[in-house]
Amino acid sequence: MKYHIISLGCPKNTVDSEQFAWVMNSAGWENSDEPDPSDLIILNTCAFIAPATEESLEYLSDLISWKSRKPGRKIVLAGCLPGRYSDDGSGGLEDIDLITGPGDWRKLSAWLGIASEGPAQVLGHGNYRYLKIADGCSNGCAYCTIPAIRGKFVPRHTDTILRESDLLVQQGAGEIGLVAQDSGNWRQSGADLAALAETLAARHPSIWWRLYYLHPLHFPHRLPEVFSKFSNVVPYIDMPVQHASDSILERMGRGHGVRTIEKIMEELDNSPVEIAVRYTVITGYPGETEADFSELRDFLGRYRSGRHIAAFSWYPEEGTLEYSRAIARGDAVDDSTASGRLASISAVGDSLYADWDERLYGRELSIRADDKITGHTVWDAPEVDAVVSFTEPVIPGSVVRAKIVESSGAVLVAEPVN
């Protein structure tokens, strides 16, 4: 019997899908890379904002017609869509054979009639993989649905994380990203994320370790020191700052003011190691004035460590505090203003890249090859940030020394030197 997994959304969902794959294989099913030859498809959904929910529902409707084309086919609906929306009995779910919440591999095991003792394991392949160090979030930002979907912050145990790191390396990983909703909040017996990164880097010295989702409130300030001690902990910070105006940060419920993120950026800029920061921000937040927006734009262009900006407009998500508050106050920002601000942020993003282009041009760097012709630097996360094109074929998965012969924004061209 064959199964296929469709994994939507964030890297945390990718890890959940790999746990589902491990369960299916343990039950004797065979993985299929294609949907059609499969007898069962697991749709691991995302639903934290409206566009993600719509995409998940579109996939679900395609799967229902896939099922109708051959008797005996099965659908498992998993992840954040069922995590956020319960079955209200209005129908339309009768074609689904099993509904499980986010990461609920035990429910899948029980349905397949196999045991589910001990921590889940992961089954996957590829040169870069993700390792989930915690799940859920206890911050409760006013615009966010994730705590309601995934529950409170629960750190995974150090031993489980170390064991899983060994498994990922055995399965061929060359780069591993540490992920959680709020990675900096991870702590175990006095050790924090910085200490965990050091332990993993020493345990697997040939692996590149990358840190994602560092909320400024729980930022491990020892990270620059870790980057200088362990060259395989890549000097990259994925930091959802969300905004840089005190009044908007307060309204969002971020638990800190702009001075907190300014201090972090000053530390990173003053570090002897060249560090790249990926900012995630929300523009057009209810109550955002032109002055608030200028503070955000000025902040994003101010620090030499700033490299990438992922900007989104605010989405009115039902069930969040901000949804009802914006309606009550009537101070949502109109769409054209919001999209104008989004465009203005993207111009700041271009200027950050232009600054890095000047710095990278002509330099010899270590670049991880993602396939025969492309790769990424330590300052770029695979599949989301800037891409390197090699001037000649290289060995996929290897780390190539190469000279940057062209650099224009999110595309770098590199000539292998040995």
Instruction: Confirm if 309 and 300 have CB atoms less than 8 A apart.
Output: yes
Tokens describing residue 390: 């090699």
Residue 315's φ and ψ, nearest 5 degrees, are -110, 125
Number of residues that bind ligand SF4 (CB under 6 A): 10
The contact mask relative to ligand SF4 for 160-189 (x = CB under 6 A, - = no) is ---------------------xx-------
135 binds ligand SF4 (CB under 6 A): no
Least Cβ distance, residue 150 to ligand SF4 (angstroms): 8
261 binds ligand SF4 (CB under 6 A): no
256 binds ligand SF4 (CB under 6 A): no
Residue 286's φ and ψ, nearest 5 degrees, are -50, 135
Q: Which stretch binds ligand SF4 (CB under 6 A): 97-105, 140-148, 159-167, 196-204?
A: 140-148
Least Cβ distance, residue 182 to ligand SF4 (angstroms): 5
Instruction: Confirm if 56 and 43 have CB atoms less than 8 A apart.
Output: yes
Nearer residue to ligand SF4 within complex by CB, 108 or 281: 281
Nearer residue to ligand SF4 within complex by CB, 204 or 215: 215
140 binds ligand SF4 (CB under 6 A): yes
Nearer residue to ligand SF4 within complex by CB, 63 or 137: 137
Nearer residue to ligand SF4 within complex by CB, 85 or 315: 315
Least Cβ distance, residue 268 to ligand SF4 (angstroms): 20
- Selected binder of ligand SF4 within 147, 257, 287, 316 (CB under 6 A): 147
Q: Which stretch binds ligand SF4 (CB under 6 A): 4-12, 59-67, 143-151, 321-329?
A: 143-151
d(Cα 379, Cα 372) in Å, to the nearest integer? 20
The contact mask relative to ligand SF4 for 202-241 (x = CB under 6 A, - = no) is -------------x--------------------------
d(Cα 402, Cα 418) in Å, to the nearest integer? 8
Q: How many CB atoms lie within 10 A of CB 130?
A: 23
- Pairs from 406-412 (Cβ < 8 Å, separation ≥ 24): 406/361, 407/356, 407/357, 407/360, 407/361, 408/357, 409/350, 409/353, 409/354, 409/357, 410/353, 410/385, 410/386, 411/386, 411/387, 412/360, 412/377, 412/386, 412/387, 412/388
151 binds ligand SF4 (CB under 6 A): no
Least Cβ distance, residue 329 to ligand SF4 (angstroms): 21
CA-only gyration radius of the chain, Å: 22
144 binds ligand SF4 (CB under 6 A): yes
316 binds ligand SF4 (CB under 6 A): no
Matching residue, tokens 């992922």: 310
13 binds ligand SF4 (CB under 6 A): no
3-class state of residue 299 by DSSP: helix
Least Cβ distance, residue 31 to ligand SF4 (angstroms): 30
d(Cα 20, Cα 112) in Å, to the nearest integer? 11
Least Cβ distance, residue 29 to ligand SF4 (angstroms): 32
Nearer residue to ligand SF4 within complex by CB, 109 or 183: 183
Please classify residue 76 by burial: count the beta carbons closer than 10 Å to its beta carbon, then call 0-12 exposed, 13-18 middle and 19+ buried: buried
Angle between the N-to-C axes of helices 158-170 and 193-203, in degrees from 0 to 180, rounded to the nearest 10:
40
Tokens describing residue 274: 């060249």
Instruction: Confirm if 412 and 360 have CB atoms less than 8 A apart.
Output: yes
Least Cβ distance, residue 383 to ligand SF4 (angstroms): 21
d(Cα 246, Cα 254) in Å, to the nearest integer? 10
Q: Which stretch binds ligand SF4 (CB under 6 A): 109-117, 137-145, 368-376, 388-396?
A: 137-145
d(Cα 116, Cα 20) in Å, to the nearest integer? 12
Secondary structure E strands in 233-363: 233-242, 276-283, 306-313
Instruction: Confirm if 178 and 193 have CB atoms less than 8 A apart.
Output: yes
Nearer residue to ligand SF4 within complex by CB, 141 or 399: 141
137 binds ligand SF4 (CB under 6 A): yes
- Selected binder of ligand SF4 within 46, 60, 131, 141 (CB under 6 A): 141
Least Cβ distance, residue 144 to ligand SF4 (angstroms): 3
Binding site for ligand SF4 (CB under 6 A): 137, 139-141, 144, 146-147, 181-182, 215
